Structure 1
Amino acid sequence: MILINVQFHVKPEYAETFLDEINWYTEACNAEPGCIDFKWFRDPEDRQRFLLLESYADGKDVEHVQSEHFKRSCEEFPKYLVETPDIINVHIDGRTGWDKMGEFSVD
């Protein structure tokens, strides 16, 4: 499994419309066969900051970055952004989904 976390700092004029304007990308990524999760979160304390959490099946990250919608995002996203996004990209060999938290359980 490939886990990707990306922090986006959006220009003030796009803070309220960013997710709607890039919804085409969100829908296309979620439709990819290797996509496990693709979700956006907005910082409640700074409305210009968004966090993208993505996970893909092993090897499917290559297909993702070669897709037409990813190429389009590389061209279009910079116009919305204050700065280059920060990213964490981790590969966990053999992982296929979520585990249950071991520290506590809900009955």
Structure 2
Amino acid sequence: MIVLHAIFRIDPEDLDEALDHAQTLVEESNREEGTIDYRAATDVEDEATIRFFEQYEDEAAFEAHTQTDHYQAFEAALPDLLAGEPEVLRFEVDSVEELDL
């Protein structure tokens, strides 16, 4: 499984537009074959920061995601929305275990 955590600091003036793009990206990405889960959230300490949490079955699913219209639309819009450098972390996971709390 491939897991991504992407962090985007958005210009506060462009936050509504960025959130619209994020909502579309989440909705469409969760429909993709090979996507396990795709979420976006605003940071509780900085509402102008959007964090994406993405899970894919494998490399092929991730690569297919990057070729979709909704991903490419977000990627094209992103440079005009950012207020800083994005940070993207990629994890390759061999196993997952749900914990009881």
How well do the aligned residues superpose, as a CA RMSD in angstroms? 1.8
Residue of structure 2 in register with 1:99 after alignment: 97
Give the structure 2 partner of residue 74 of structure 1. 75
Matches within 5 A, 1:34-53: 34-53=34-53
Q: Which amino acid aligns with 1:52?
A: F
3-state DSSP of counterpart to 1:46: coil
Note the alpha carbon deviations across 1:23-50, whole angstroms, 9 max, x for none. Answer: 2222111111111111112111211112
Distance 2:74 2:21 in 1: 11
Distance in 1 (alpha carbons) for counterparts of 2:52 and 2:20:
14
Q: Deviations over 1:4-27 (max 9, x none)?
A: 000110001123553224322221
> TM-score w.r.t. structure 1 length?
0.80
Percent of pairs identical after alignment? 26
- The structure in which a higher percent of residues are helix is 2
TM-superposition CA deviations, 1:71-95 (whole Å, max 9, x none):
22221122111123101112224x4
TM-score (norm 2): 0.84
Gaps of 5+ in 2: none
Count of aligned positions: 100
Larger Rg: 1
